[in-house]
Structure 1
Amino acid sequence: MEYLEFELPIKELQEQLERASKIGEESDVDVTNTCKQIEKKLEDTKKEIYKNLTPWQRVQLSRHPNRPYTMDYIRAICGDTFLELHGDRNFKDDKAMVGGLGKIGDQSYMFIGQQKGYNTKTRQYRNFGMANPEGYRKALRLMKMAEKFGVPVVTLIDTPGAYPGMEAEERGQGEAIARNILEMTRLEVPIIVVIIGEGASGGALGIGVGDSVLMLENTWYSVISPESCSSILWRSWEYKEQAAEALKLTATDMKKLKLIDQIVKEPLGGAHSDKDSTYVTVSKAIEKAYGDLKNLSPSDLVDKRMGKYAEMGVFKS
């Protein structure tokens, strides 16, 4: 288990608990009361730390190396029913953007999301979760397929941004993202968006327009990362914590600004601390969101979606 800097008190208590348990196993000393005291202190410390997280600490949690990624959610939620679909039918298959058909219960969904890697090799293979234009065009192809067959769309967002390389710009990165935003506003099937990690810039918006936008508790959603914001405003990454505060990028901030519809609670310690319960919570949230949308007609879906986004940023005195 890896620990972030602000989690070090938890690490120390966890190590104390392990040492006490080991002493009890290797000798005749009764350490039951000691272990209970450490466990109580460990639980209290966790509650104290995680209830007072700063925006920057939530950004760090969203990037935790043990945090589940898109394919982890899909495999856990859909099991063997998931069928991955590949390619944009134009250039190639983007490994940073994954998608396919899967079921939750008896209901089929088209799942689409950015996928990061677990180690150096897979991170390079997945391009660190940064999609190229062909990734967004693949996503659009799958959404259009879902619309044709009346299948609701679920997108899982976890990206530091769209790939900013020269070749991506040459192939029309901006146009691909803009096209997706346009087409998603008028897609005639329910769209459920779940932010499971980082939601950065146009890379997130390219699959982020939805009837119901859900955001896990320890994730962030912003036009720019705190580090990039700091480097632009202060010419240094040292002010990333101040930038994270100013950007209002946490789930709580997004809910207050009415940019998302629901905050999905995570287990104490973050999604990576109890992955199984996180998968169940996300699955139930998707089912509930679809239940609220499934009886709307295609025209009502589009009108409601367009109205929702048209109202964002409007100030009424």
Structure 2
Amino acid sequence: MARSMPKRYRSSRARSHSSWRSLRLEYKLKKIFRRVSLALIVVFAVFLTLGAIYIWNFFAEPFASASSTFQKAGSWDGETTFNLLWLQAQDSSVLAFNPTQNSFTVVNLPVESKSVSDSEDGLQAAALEASRLLGTPIDGYVLVGEQGLEDLRQIFPMAREIKDYFSLSSVLRLPGVWQVAREHFQTSLDFAEIFRVLWYLAQVRSDKIDLVNLSPELLEDTALLDRKLAPFLRDEKLFLEHLRVQVLNGSGKPGLAFQAARLIKNLGGEVIRADNFERQDLIRGYLLLDSSGSYTARRLSQIFGVFDSRPPRTGSESRADITLVLGIENAR
């Protein structure tokens, strides 16, 4: 008769077999878990990608068909002054974003905009007229339909003044505002500029938001008008450089040098002379200066679309730090 295995050995062998099965089961579970985790990651990545595409289309598509030939030197960088012409129903305003003062100002114009065409030529003409009236550059436009205004009133039912639109709770209404923009807004802004405008507004303190109402009589007195708007529209960086600027008109268009000089003064620049250039058939203007590294030179280049610079000559041009020579292409 075969001898039976001692009980303690049988127990040890059973425990060893049970441990082996447990290890195999644990290994299988870990393998299944890794596969499920990988699958979930792939699914999440797919949904994340689709969501990103949807969000991009949602935010970028509204203005993809907007006019894109509006005359401007480049996309707003969020650091320089930036003025938008806001056109709605029979009213028009200028939205002044001034990072050099960390301020935002709405300037209501006493001029009806009902005759403004929504064509590119009509909007360009409206922007040029607003620039001429206020003596300040207009960098873009936003055209709002009547239904769009009504939808915005429903989104902001308690808004009574301009500051009410830029409270912390307004962030939650952004998707609704964007949906209205998709249907009823037209703008010259590109997607990056729209983002920078919204980001800037989200950071402006309520005590830095102002509303300025202009009367028809004030528009007739440009000196008084400029003094009234200077605290809001002045570019502090340009003002602090204190560079002397000379403006010469070579376009053949009467009064262009004085219009440009007024604009530069309102920005905070020091204009020492505005006159005609020796030529009146100049196509493309340029800057005369020792160095193009100044902030003032960069702003003049952006505003007037003058990208060529040359060393200054003797005579009146040598008395100025910067001479702006305007040609036909630079007539604003």
Q: Give the TM bin, normalised by the shorter chain.
A: under 0.3
Q: Taking structure 1 as the reference length, what is the TM-score of the superposition?
A: 0.23
Q: Taking structure 2 as the reference length, what is the TM-score of the superposition?
A: 0.23
Larger radius of gyration: 2
